Amino acid sequence: MHKTELSKQWIFKLFFQLVTQQDMRDSKFTIRFGEKLKMLEAELNLKLDLTLSEIHLIACIGNYGPINVTMISEKTNLTKGSVTRISKKLLKLDLIKRQQLLDNKKEVYFRLTGKGEKLHNIHNRLHQDIEQRFMGFLDKYTPEQLAFSRELLQDLLEWDY
């Protein structure tokens, strides 16, 4: 078999391993976040029991708030119905609050409460830790290798397999 074909086969195998490992890595993130969440629950004396979608909705509100349902839906790729359902739960838990503009009572905006801010900060710290470790991992590559990797990953994102 030609050397190029062997390289392609290895790249495919590694790609497949990477895709299948993502579930395991998501689990590790969930465990780390869960540990921090338990500490926060103890501090707030409140059981939160949040899904990843609920946490990402809090992150969206924290990053862009005050923000309405339509914008949250666009930024999180959740349906408006899902955003409404999740926001009701987060309102009950006092993690977010509703707000209306003085000149437009129809439009509802969300922002974080103090509890929501704490949760948002934990989420951001975990993402920053992951990003720092990833940047350290990339330090071993040359600028040319990084440029190629970026192009390859972009192509993989756009490829319809």
With 90 as the cut, is the pLDDT of residue 139 above it? yes
Mean pLDDT of 125-134: 86
Query: What is the CB neighbour count within 10 angstroms for residue 89?
Result: 16
Which has the minimum average pLDDT: 17-21, 25-29, 64-68, 142-146? 25-29
We report the CATH number of the domain holding residue 137 as 1.10.10.10
User: Of 79-88, 99-108, 150-159, which gets the smallest average pLDDT?
Assistant: 99-108
Number of domains in the chain: 1
Flag whether 18 is in a domain: no
11 is a domain residue: no
Question: 8 in a domain, yes or no?
Answer: no
Q: Is 21 within the bounds of a domain?
A: no
Instruction: Give me the numbers of helices (H) and strands (E) for the chain, helices first please.
Output: 6, 3
| 56-66 confidence digits (pLDDT tens) | 899 999 999 89
Tokens standing for 102? 């003085």
Give me the domain span that covers residue 82: 35-158
**6 domain residue, yes or no:** no
